[in-house]
Amino acid sequence: MMNSPLTLTAILERAGRYFPQVEIVSRLPNRQLHRYTWGQLHQRALKLAECLQNAGLQKGDRVATLMWNHYAHLEAYFGVPAAGGMLHALNLRLHPDEIAFISNHAQDRFLIVDDVLLPVLENFKSKVRFERVFVVQHCQNAAASEYENYEDWLAQASREFHYPEISEQDGASLCYTSGTTGNPKGVLYSHRAIVLHSWQQCMADSCAVSQHDVVLLASSMFHANGWGLAYTAAMVGAKFVMPGPHLDPESLLELIEGEKVTLSCAVPTVWLGVLAALEKRGRSWKPKRDVRILCGGTAAPVSLIEGLARHGFHLIHSWGMTETSPQATVSRLKPEMLDWPEERRLQQRAKQGWALPFIDVRIVNEQGLAPADGGTMGELEVRGPWVAASYYKAPETADRWTEDGWFRTGDIATMDPDGCIRLVDRSKDLVKSGGEWISSVDLENTLMSHPAVREAGVIAVPHPKWQERPLAVVVLKDGMLVSPDELRGFLAGKFAKWQLPDAFVFVSDLPHSTTGKLLKSELRRQYADWCQRSLRFDPLAII
Ligand code: ADP
């Protein structure tokens, strides 16, 4: 067989050749919809690649972006790797010092930035060294004169672009993990890894992405390579929709209805908001076309899966990490499960599912390889062609990989006899109470199945006797009221007494990370002295 390289340039050329009329829709910062096609994207990505080469970009050089999800970001997704460079999408929600750290570590040479994000750049520009900065102009007023205009730059292309020689092992895109456990770490995706990951997203038993889909990318393009979906949509010629900065539930629903979206993706928090908005429209309101939702990043609660289904949104639960491109497992029902009672089917779908083809997973604890008995917990380890083999320029992190080449995820899981994975918790989020482990995820998901609860976070708070005890921080649905006793009673039937939270705190909002996940580190910080504050817990205290 021929040894054709698996590169993004093949995907770009295919989109331009076979799907030139298929639409790409972007919601711009001013809320207007920008429309063009894969054909135009193809042309403009090649212009960008030519301009980058003319600017002196060498193979492997990093080009940073500071942009929301829209057409120009998509051009960089394809144009930078086409020029032989590596796209580095900066997380615009990080602290300026963190962005500067990441950009310096990556040694970004160029930056493409939204005009509306220039104030973010302003906060770290003195700490970084971009050779040139190109501004995508969305607003009428001209760009700050110290920077160049992206459109003017693209207009200089002669359309005489020739692809450099690109190997499938070359880096195409660089993403940094969050810095919750030390400095952020870079994951460099190769062309080959991205192509293979895209291929699996098209599998009927994964996300089944096809040219019949309209894909809405509701997860950020700076998070885990935009979950791979931009490349997958281009590969199959799906209509592609991007929400810009407008990620509120109503704006998303407007796009879903208006553009006839059939597939979207984001973390559960986003869908919790969408579900609340759907419920306001009526218990059985549905968009004209059913929508599949690729959902991961944190565990998807049963109540979310069930609630969304009522409105024609079918959640596909998947587990992965920045380090795994990101999808590594997917939870789709097997044929024999279709006849199970609904409750059992929902419980099954709330698990993280089975490893995708070519991905291997195993669970390891102090005793060695954990048995696949659905109960024994251990750390989840993973390997495969789209799993990172190291962090970018960080030899000091080599211990995240085992000697036999598996990546240590830091997640605690169990494995069913049929190989299905259930994530118990992140090891740092488990509540270690009197030598026993309590899953914060299980408590949260059960709390969220209470009709009055919108979102719940369970954290470990230090305890003088038990080392740690669970504390539940709860957001109620609009207009709902419930007492701590009722919530305790609700959990009591499903958990042992010692596993129940010591207290329930009611708040109007929970802190979220830059990628929309519950920020447990912040909750832990806020409630670190909980035991001192309430030496004797008063169950009727509503804070
Ligand atoms: P971070 O959350 O640290 O910024 P990632 O976005 O790469 O970085 O998150 C990866 C982590 O998210 C996983 O290690 C796991 O803890 C969690 N995660 C991802 N998918 C799921 C899921 N379906 N269920 C539960 N946890 C998940």
H/E element, 66: strand 62-66
Cα(471)–Cα(476) distance, rounded to whole angstroms?
Answer: 16
Residue 257 annotated as catalytic: no
CATH 3.40.50.12780 domain locations along the chain = 8-266
Query: For ligand 1, atom 16, which residue shows the shortest CA distance?
Result: 426
10-41 pLDDT tens trace? 999 999 999 999 999 999 999 999 999 999 99
> Residue 188: beta bridge partners?
174
Longest CA span, the chain: 75
Burial class for 221, CB neighbours closer than 10 Å (0-12, 13-18, 19+):
buried
CATH code for the structural domain at 359-426: 2.30.38.10
Residue 468 annotated as catalytic: no
pTM score, whole prediction: 0.92
- Closest ligand 1 atom, CA of 295? 23
116-161 pLDDT tens trace? 999 999 999 999 999 999 999 998 766 557 899 999 999 999 988 9
What spacing in Å lies between the alpha carbon of 298 and ligand 1's midpoint? 5
Ligand 1 pocket mutation, candidates 94, 298, 325, 512, criterion most atoms within 8 A of CB: 298
Residue 177 annotated as catalytic: yes
List the catalytic residue out of 428, 437, 514, 517. Answer: 437
Residue 414 annotated as catalytic: no
Mean pLDDT of 400-415: 97
CATH 2.30.38.10 domain locations along the chain = 359-426
End-to-end CA, the chain? 67
List the catalytic residue out of 9, 37, 65, 177. Answer: 177
Instruction: Give the pairing type, strands 148-149 and 132-136.
Output: parallel
- Closest ligand 1 atom, CA of 352? 23
**Which residues form ligand 1's pocket by a CB distance below 6 Å?**
177-178, 180, 224, 296-299, 317-322, 352, 409, 411, 423, 426, 515, 517
pLDDT for 318 beyond 70? yes
Mean pLDDT of 316-345: 97
H/E element, 79: helix 71-82
Query: For ligand 1, atom 12, which residue shows the shortest CA distance?
Result: 297
Ligand 1 pocket mutation, candidates 321, 387, 441, 448, criterion most atoms within 8 A of CB: 321
Query: For ligand 1, atom 19, which residue shows the shortest CA distance?
Result: 297
CATH 3.30.300.30 domain locations along the chain = 431-533
34-86 pLDDT tens trace? 999 999 999 999 999 999 999 999 999 999 999 999 999 999 999 999 999 99
Phi, psi of 476 (to 5 degrees): -90, 155
CA nearest neighbour of 429 among 390, 399, 471: 471
Ligand 1 pocket mutation, candidates 221, 423, 513, criterion most atoms within 8 A of CB: 423
252-273 pLDDT tens trace? 999 999 999 999 999 999 999 9
pLDDT for 167 beyond 80? yes
CATH for 431-533 (3.30.300.30, 3.40.50.300, 3.40.50.150, 3.30.420.300): 3.30.300.30
pLDDT for 247 beyond 80? yes
Mean pLDDT estimate for the chain: 94
Q: What top-level class would CATH report for the domain 8-266?
A: alpha beta
pLDDT for 540 beyond 70? no
pLDDT for 457 beyond 50? yes
What spacing in Å lies between the alpha carbon of 297 and ligand 1's midpoint? 4
List the catalytic residue out of 260, 428, 432, 517. Answer: 432
